[in-house]
Amino acid sequence: MNDIDLLHELAPEAERLLERHLAASKEWFPHQLVPWDEVIKRDPRDEWDPDFRPMPDAVRRALVVNLLTEDNLPYYTTEITRLFGVDHAWGAWNRRWTAEEGRHAIVIRDYLTVTGSCDPIALERGRMQHAEYGFHQPITGSADGFVYVALQELATRISHRNTGKLMEDKAGYDVMARVAADENMHYLFYKDVATAALAVDPSAMVLAMERQVRSFSMPGAGIDDFSSAAKLIADAGIYDLGIHHDHILVPVIMRAWQLEALEGLSPEAEEARVRLVKRLGRIDKVAKSQAARRQERESRSGD
């Protein structure tokens, strides 16, 4: 089935899920979550002092990575418009989603600036670099789009949530928990759109799953020095391969989308399913050996 027919077929479900989303979402205001009292302790225009608000490097880097990821919203909106179009509920969903995502960057940036938690000059340079880089995940059509965005929203939710849990500041924890709750609702929309797409064209969806798991990278992968930040973030337990496997790939692909129980697949999709199941097994193996190595390093450094 081509993309136009698939989107047309799924339009009533997209509309139902948009209505569900609107009924469940609660209005919230970034300025109400920002601890403005902090600003009297230091002037945010002064040269940044990393000792003013000490926190583990991994948490600071995670906050900046999470914010810079949110900052690239213009490219995500463009990409989603390209993939899902503006007809029926698709356009209304994309506009609503864009408006909600915009709040995330507002609240995290205000929090970081007011509390002096990161260098505002480095942050702005990082935003310029990331936005000039754009977004380059290979997503060829709407089936791939549904799969990537569902996985990505869940990954982003977990990353925001785990970052917040490591913050020793109630206001910061609340900001990240609030943003994570939004990401969860975005995840639910796309996960259920993808479930509906599986009923319409299971072969196209299995091929898309195999491609997207194989090429998956976080939307912030284009941030300068992302790999060193990702390593710190992994070592801190905010987001690593084990979390990717246990809390994203398995719950979504194996349990929600029931990869192994799907019927009526084309021979090509059957082969893709076998490859994907094997890949999940390999990811699990690598994740477990990475975790064992990390534990060994930690116990050695604790001696």
CA–CA distance, 243 with 248 (Å, rounded to integer): 7
Supply 150's token pair: 């569902």
Among 32-40, 69-77, 80-88, 128-136, which window interacts with Fe ion (CB under 5 A)? 69-77
CA torsion through residues 151, 153, 154, 156, sign: positive
CA–CA distance, 273 with 229 (Å, rounded to integer): 33
- Binding flag, residue 144, Fe ion (CB under 5 A): no
- Binding flag, residue 201, Fe ion (CB under 5 A): no
Show the site string, 80-119: x = touches Fe ion by CB under 5 A, - = not: ---------------------x--x---------------
Between 174 and 284, name the residue whose CB sits nearer to Fe ion. 174
CA–CA distance, 181 with 155 (Å, rounded to integer): 12
Between 154 and 249, name the residue whose CB sits nearer to Fe ion. 154
Contact pick of 186, 191, 245, 273 for Fe ion (by CB under 5 A) = 186
CA–CA distance, 153 with 72 (Å, rounded to integer): 14
- Binding flag, residue 161, Fe ion (CB under 5 A): no
- Binding flag, residue 210, Fe ion (CB under 5 A): no
Supply 23's token pair: 């009924």
Between 79 and 183, name the residue whose CB sits nearer to Fe ion. 183
- Binding flag, residue 53, Fe ion (CB under 5 A): no
CA–CA distance, 82 with 164 (Å, rounded to integer): 33
Between 7 and 108, name the residue whose CB sits nearer to Fe ion. 108
- Binding flag, residue 245, Fe ion (CB under 5 A): no
Between 92 and 265, name the residue whose CB sits nearer to Fe ion. 92
- The answer to whether 14 touches 95, Cβ cutoff 8 Å, is no
Could you tell me what percentage of the chain is helix, strand and coil, using 3-state DSSP and rounding each to the nearest 5? 80, 0, 20
Residues of this chain that interact with Fe ion (CB under 5 A) are 70, 101, 104, 153, 183, 186
